[in-house]
Amino acid sequence: MLWRVQHKDASVLSLGKRATLSGVGALLLWAFLAVLGRLTAPMPPLQVTALGFAIGGCLGLAVVIYRRRTHALAQPPLAWVHGVGGLFGYHALYFAAIAWAPPVEANLLNYLWPLLIVVLSAPILGMRLGARRLMGVGCGFVGCVLVAGGGAGFVTPGALPGFAAALGAAFVWALYSVTSRRMAAVPTEAVAGFCLATAALAGIAHLAFETSVAPSTRQWLALLLLGAGPVGAAFFLWDVGMKRGDPRLLGVLAYAVPVASTLLLVLAGEGVLGWRVGVALLLVVGGGWMAATASGEAPE
């Protein structure tokens, strides 16, 4: 009997580790968001959002149909409010932020969401944080500040609405991510429906506030890659990671995304690799190691 209990505990722990790795996969895909987004320029952001989510949603729907899991799309209203509200709400606020405020500083404020995920895991999920894990969060945030060049743009006149939108985006995504664990009964396949609904809302907003631009061949390729990865598969992987993995660890590791994103932009010729990025990389890796090796209760 004792062996069976131990075997069951080991199986649960193994599933939790695999789920956390799924979340890490989402973070890796999001590192390509900036460089792929640059390739879609000068297309309007809401148009890019609508097309990217439409592609990602259709690819996800194809997998759902292939697996004969279309019944997973029939979810209660609360699940749709949670899924679509998180996906569309975050991206609408994020694109507003980078439009109304200096993009580097707005992106920095947006990347408060990893910190908020770690912090909100305590009151919402009842998970213990501990000093070591919080120190890891701090290291990651300092690394993010360095990538942003120190945040000199925070004194830009008239940028307050953009900064408020960036803070709102961070809170929406953190809350969506953490509360996903409370929506564990909603299968991951339902994310395909959430993506398509988000595409529809973004399309309506685009037609209302933007002027459409016909994508070039290069832009279509970038959109397909966005839909397949950062604005597609990443959300399915993140759903698994948040529901069955360790949100505290994923929250800390998420600080690697702006650093990795910056490195990819540099490799694409969009910037220069300086000392800030090097130090930031060390801080993010060190912070992630501190969180990964912190003692504390395992995910439920």
Pick left, alpha or beta for residue 297 (phi over 0 → left; psi -120 to 50 → alpha; otherwise beta): beta
Task: Give Cα separations from 39 to 46, 212, 292 (angstroms).
Answer: 15, 17, 34
Cα dihedral angle (194, 197, 203, 205), rounded to 10 degrees?
-90
The pLDDT assigned to 50 comes to: 93
Tens place of pLDDT for every residue, the chain, 300 residues?
443 434 444 444 466 788 889 999 999 998 888 788 878 878 888 899 899 999 999 999 999 999 999 999 999 999 999 999 999 988 888 888 877 877 766 777 787 788 778 777 766 666 666 777 778 778 777 776 776 565 555 556 677 888 888 889 888 998 998 888 888 889 999 999 999 999 999 999 999 988 999 999 999 999 999 999 998 999 999 999 888 888 778 877 887 887 787 778 778 776 666 677 677 667 766 776 776 666 654 444
What does pTM read for this prediction? 0.79
| Residues 6 or more apart in contact with residue 203 via CB below 8 angstroms | 46, 50, 54
Query: 216: which 2 tokens?
Result: 């070039």
The pLDDT assigned to 78 comes to: 93
The pLDDT assigned to 295 comes to: 60
Contact 212, 40 (CB under 8 A): no
